[in-house]
Each structure stands twice: as structure tokens, then as C-alpha cells.
Amino acid sequence: MADPAVASGGSLTSGGRGSGGKAASSPAENYHLARRRTLQVVVSALLTECGFESAEKAAVETLTEMMQSYITEIGRCAKSYCEHTARSIPTLSDTVITLIEMGFNVDTLPVYAKRSQRMVITAPPVTNPPVTPKALSAGQKRTHPSHIPSHFPEFPDPHTYIKTPTFREPVSDYQVVREKAATQRRDVERALTRFMAKTGETQSLFKDDISAFPLIAARPSAIPYLSALLPSELELQTLEETDSSEQDDQTDSENAAGNIITDDPGADKENSMLPPTGVVPSTKASEDNIIDNPYLRPVKKPKVRRKK
């Protein structure tokens, strides 16, 4: 019987071509290691057929090396005869000529193949190739042309050299846009609330655990109704625009009244009291308009412009 470690195809630590103590990493090293283990199983089966019950690892390794060298020499010579006849693939006749040249009796092969005590070796397990994700599948995978042998590595996946766009078309659906805007607004509000709760003063619902359910502390004010009475920025801007338009209209009317010339004898007396510019200063009107307190400002209706 062959050595169990050898028959099971375990890794060998002793010398020999194609075997080593370290695990193979590249596909080529994996291929040579699998081929070497298959030859070891074949040698172990042949020793069992010959009547051996056990064998040392060094002896099995030597016989494996001899068989590998013999098969390699047959392949090399068959390839040479094939190329000598202007062909690229060896045939059965090339192999027969090689065996004859190496001194092997070809007529004994059929008898040896039909022996009764022959041991059948199961085929090694075939590993399934890794499945490519659908996200990376682009185009059709290329096969080898006629001038490239089939045992050569396959072409890489098409997604490695085919241009694939990664952008997406913008979503223009009204419902999706509104939902996205609402989601973003809710996330912003939550983030702002958490930031204010972490940086500012907080109040807790539970006295025992302060960190649970923190609430933003309300800041008390002396006049709580003041914010409701103060006008907003939009109202202040509207009032300023209304005041400026009324002041412009009043200035235009005063300038027009000062430029009117009348034949009234009393007009000379009134005109003598006017300043050299001919315009009455509107100090009183300006004093009324400049009011610091918004609550004391007179109510002014917005000017309605009529269409001419």
C-alpha cells in the first residue's frame, strides 16, 4: 500500500521539481502542483498493483520525478517531429514514433491496458470559475482566435477595457423631487437640532438620566410679546420704500409751487420772504419723518399707483 500522505495528494516537504513547502499563489504554480499530486497518486496506484503495501516518501518522490521526466521527454520529442513536418499540433503517429525512438515496445500497450488488476483513479475535482457580478458584466467575452492555443489564459473581462458610463440621468419626476426635498429638509432640521442640543443648554425629561431625550432649553425674556410686536424685515423694507416715494412726491410738488409766477401784487411780498433758492425748507416734515420708536411712527397707507 502506498503512503497515505502521498496517496491523498498532500503537500510534500521533501525535494523534487514542482513541489515546495510554501503554498502556491499564482495560477501557474497551482497548475504544476496539481499535476505533481496527480502523478504521485498514479505512482502510488502502480506500486499497489505491483504488491507493495507501503512506501517511503523519498521513494515515491523519486519515482514521481522519473515518470514526470519520461512524460516530458515524450511530449518534447513528439512536438519536434510535429514541427519537422510543418504541423503545429502533434498526432498519434508522432507519439508512436517517439516511443519507438526511445526504445519502448509499442505492441505491449494494448495488453497492458487490458490487465485485470488495474486500479481506476477518480478524476480530480473541477473547481467552478468565479462568477462575475452582473454590475461588472459589459459586452461579450472574447474567445481565443485560431492561432492562439486553448490552454493559454483567457482574455480579461470586457469591463476592464470597455468604457462604461457611470453617470445617471437627473430625476425630473415631480413626486420624487418633492420627496427628496422633504427628506433633505428633515435631515437638515434634525442635524441642526442635534447640534444646538450638544452645544447649547439642554433640559432633560428624566432627572435620573440627563443624556436621555435632551430638549433645547428655552431662554426666558423680560418682554415675551416684544417679538410679536416688532415688524419683520420685509415690513421695514416696505415702509422705507413708501417713505422715500412720499418724500420724492412732496419735494416735486413744492418745487412746482415755487416756480409758478403770478400777477398777484401780494405775491411779491410773499416771495420776498422766501429764501434765495425759492423753496420752503421742510424741516418740520423731516423732523416728523425721523422717529426712532417704531410704535410712535404714524400710520401710512401704501401708495397705490394707478394705471394711466
Domains of the chain: 28-114 (1.10.20.10), 174-238 (no CATH)
Task: Count Cα neighbours of 300 within 13 Å in the Cβ-side half-sphere.
Answer: 22
CA distance 101 to 77: 9
Which single residue is written with the C-alpha cell 481506476? 120
Is 11:19 a contact under the CB 8 Å cutoff? yes
Q: Of the candidates 72, 68, 52, which has an alpha carbon nearest to the alpha carbon of residue 19?
A: 68
Other CB atoms within 10 Å distance of the CB of residue 254? 16
pLDDT in the model for residue 116:
83
Interhelix angle for 57-84 vs 92-101, to 10°?
A: 120
H/E element, 222: none
Q: Which phi and psi angles does 304 have, rounded to 5°? A: -100, 120
Query: C-alpha angle 257/258/260, rounded to 5°?
Result: 70
CA distance 291 to 308: 34
Residues 6+ apart with CB under 8 A from 279: 254, 255, 258
Q: Which phi and psi angles does 137 have, rounded to 5°? A: -80, 120
Which single residue is written with the C-alpha cell 497518486? 41
pLDDT in the model for residue 293:
59
**Taking the chain (308 residues) in consecutive chunks of 10 residues, what is each chunk's mean pLDDT?**
40 39 63 86 88 89 93 93 90 91 89 84 75 66 85 80 69 87 93 85 76 75 77 75 73 63 47 50 50 62 72
Q: Which phi and psi angles does 216 have, rounded to 5°? A: -70, 125
Q: Is the pTM of this model over 0.95?
A: no
